[in-house]
Structure 1
Amino acid sequence: MLQILSITTPIFILIGLGFFAVRFEVVSREQIRGLGSFVITFALPALVIKALSNNHFQEVMNWQYLLAYCVGSLAVYLFGLVFALKLRREPLDTGAITALGMAVSNSGFVGYPIVAMLLGPAAAIGLALNMLVENLLIIPLSLILAEAGRQQGSTAKVLRETAKRLAKTPLIIAMLVGLLLSLLEARLPAIPDKVVDMLASASAPVALFVIGGSLYGLKLNGLFAELRMIAVGKLILHPLAVFLLFSLLPNVDPVLMVAGVMFASSPMLSIYPIFGQRFGVEGRCAAALLFTTVMSFFTISLLIGVMKPHL
């Protein structure tokens, strides 16, 4: 148990530092947003480039990992959508956002630091592959369905806007650069490589600090009944679905299987309330983010104990 806590406790201490830094006005919300922009724009892309370029293309493009994580995430997304539409009687736009909260992890800000402490270099490869699934499938699918529910804009328009956004995303650009370097078996020159290495090393602690700062001020607002199912979907059903998919595939690398399950066990992405804002459910999304992040300390600690025998 102490070994498990030695992995999870530092992670949540850093989140707590960010929370109390904003609470006691050591750091402002604007500064937290600036740090978040630094992580998304520079630190995580550097980490992805480093991870991909330092491994052979065949090792990076692990199709078993992609298949298990993709199908598992999609299955949980569809479950969340059916739950929202049929049981909660939500309209399609908000139902699509509810399902998004169950199926997309905070792979960069929470998942990566935890998996890196548990598994080391395999975490960065898992992060890059997760970004492909999340940014090219689950998030665009959610936005398309949500926009269709509002009947604003054609599907083609939503696809074009999503493609433009993705084309400008630093993480997507970093993935393409890293994959190209891996395919060509090329390495960055010494000085750029050192810069990338320095930026990559800053990604995990700064990301966790940003998560903590972003959580300050969020309130549950008596939404426990609604939040409970989103949290169950994200923290239990998502990692379970990914684990089951890995279990069905032959000759799976156990390290990558544990990485995929642990990434899936992370709370939803930190910009979840921003997606909800467009469709009028930002309050519920913010409350879900807070509740799920707090509960993830317990579920992730438990899951590490369950998954360790698979290593």
Structure 2
Amino acid sequence: MLEILGITAPIFILIGIGYLSARGRLVSPEQVLGMGKFVITFALPALVIRALLEKPLAEVFDATYLLAYGIGSQLVFWAGFLFSRFVRKDSLSGSALAGMGMSVSNSGFIGYPIVAMVLGSPAAVALALGMLVENLLMIPLALAIAELGRQNGGGARAALLDTFKRLLRNPIIISISIGLALALLGVRLPSVPAKVVDMLASASAPVALFVIGASLAGLRAGGLVKDVAQLSIGKLLLHPLAVMLCFALLPPVDPVLRVAGVLFACSPMMSIYPILGQRFGLEGRCAAALVVCTVLAFVSISGFIGLLT
């Protein structure tokens, strides 16, 4: 147990430092926003490029991993969507957001720092693969369905087109494209650019955790017990269990990557979850779920680390 706490405690201490800094007004919301943009725009893309160039592409790209993580995430998404829609009688938009909250992890800000502490460098490879699933499959699907509940006629087509345009400008997707292109061409960065990439990549984990804590300072979780309970159980328990089941049923994957995939699935939902929910009038529900899931993740992630290791 002490070994597990040695891995998870520093993660949540950094989140706590960010939270207290924001509550104590040592950092402003604008500064937190700037740090978050730094992570998304520079640090995480550098991390992805470094991961894709560290090893031959054949060792980085793992179709079975993508399949297991994608199918596990889809199973939980549709379970959450159908439960919300037909059992809880939620709206189409609300059901889609519930499914997304249960099946899309905060891979960059929480998942990667945790997996990196547990497994080391393979965490970056799993991050790149997992973000392909999240950015190209899970998020566009959820937003397109949510738009159907908000508009008639060409709503879904417009939502898909807008999502595709955003993906083309997404720094993570751009970095994956650059990294894959360089890896396919067998290009290795010269020493100076490689050092810059390495320095940016090393900054991603601590800054990301600080930003998560600071972002939680302004959120409140009250009056939404049923919604929060569904999202917490789905995200922190069902998602990692579904991914674990898919890894067990599909052809064998590198055991290290298998552990990484399950731990990424253990992470709470994305930090921008309330922002996505705002478009559909669901920011209160999404913010409450994000607060509770992030707090409970300390217990659930510790449990899965003990189970897997």
Tell me which residue corresponds to 1:183. Answer: 184
Q: 1:270·1:289 contact (CA, 8 Å) conserved in 2?
A: yes
Question: 2:149 aligns to what SS in structure 1?
Answer: helix
Question: 2:251 aligns to what SS in structure 1?
Answer: coil
Tell me which residue corresponds to 1:159. Answer: 160
> Is 1:306 the counterpart of 2:304 in the alignment?
no
Tell me which residue corresponds to 2:127. Answer: 127
Q: Which amino acid aligns with 2:245?
A: L
| Two-structure CA RMSD over aligned residues (Å) | 0.9
Tell me which residue corresponds to 1:250. Answer: 251
By how many angstroms is 1:183 displaced?
1.6
- Alpha-carbon displacement from aligned partner over 1:53-101 (angstroms, at most 9, x marks no partner): 1111111110111000000000100001001101110110111011110
Q: Which amino acid aligns with 1:271?
A: I
Question: 1:90 aligns to what SS in structure 2?
Answer: coil
- Alpha-carbon displacement from aligned partner over 1:260-310 (angstroms, at most 9, x marks no partner): 0000000000000011000001011001000000000000001100000xx
- Alpha-carbon displacement from aligned partner over 1:9-38 (angstroms, at most 9, x marks no partner): 000000000000001111111110110000
Q: How does 1:44-83 map to 2 (within 5 A)?
A: 44-83=44-83
Tell me which residue corresponds to 1:193. Answer: 194
Question: 1:150 aligns to what SS in structure 2?
Answer: coil
Hey, what's the Cα distance between the residues in 2 that align with 1:197 and 1:83?
44
Q: 1:235·1:265 contact (CA, 8 Å) conserved in 2?
A: yes
Tell me which residue corresponds to 2:294. Answer: 293
Tell me which residue corresponds to 1:40. Answer: 40
Hey, what's the Cα distance between the residues in 2 that align with 1:114 and 1:107?
10
By how many angstroms is 1:251 displaced?
2.6
Tell me which residue corresponds to 1:280. Answer: 281
> Is 1:148 the counterpart of 2:141 in the alignment?
no
> Is 1:218 the counterpart of 2:226 in the alignment?
no
Tell me which residue corresponds to 1:231. Answer: 232
Q: Which amino acid aligns with 1:97?
A: L
Identity fraction in percent: 60
Tell me which residue corresponds to 1:19. Answer: 19
> Is 1:5 the counterpart of 2:5 in the alignment?
yes
Q: 1:102·1:268 contact (CA, 8 Å) conserved in 2?
A: yes
- Alpha-carbon displacement from aligned partner over 1:126-166 (angstroms, at most 9, x marks no partner): 10011100000000001110111112543322221111100
Q: 1:42·1:199 contact (CA, 8 Å) conserved in 2?
A: yes
TM-score normalised per structure 2:
0.98
By how many angstroms is 1:217 displaced?
2.0
Q: Which amino acid aligns with 2:257?
A: L
Hey, what's the Cα distance between the residues in 2 that align with 1:181 and 1:207?
26
By how many angstroms is 1:45 displaced?
0.3
Q: 1:144·1:159 contact (CA, 8 Å) conserved in 2?
A: yes
Hey, what's the Cα distance between the residues in 2 that align with 1:302 and 1:146?
33
By how many angstroms is 1:225 displaced?
2.3
Question: 1:199 aligns to what SS in structure 2?
Answer: helix
Q: Which runs of 5+ in 1 are unaligned?
A: none
Tell me which residue corresponds to 1:88. Answer: 88
Q: Which runs of 5+ in 2 are unaligned?
A: none
TM-score normalised per structure 1:
0.97
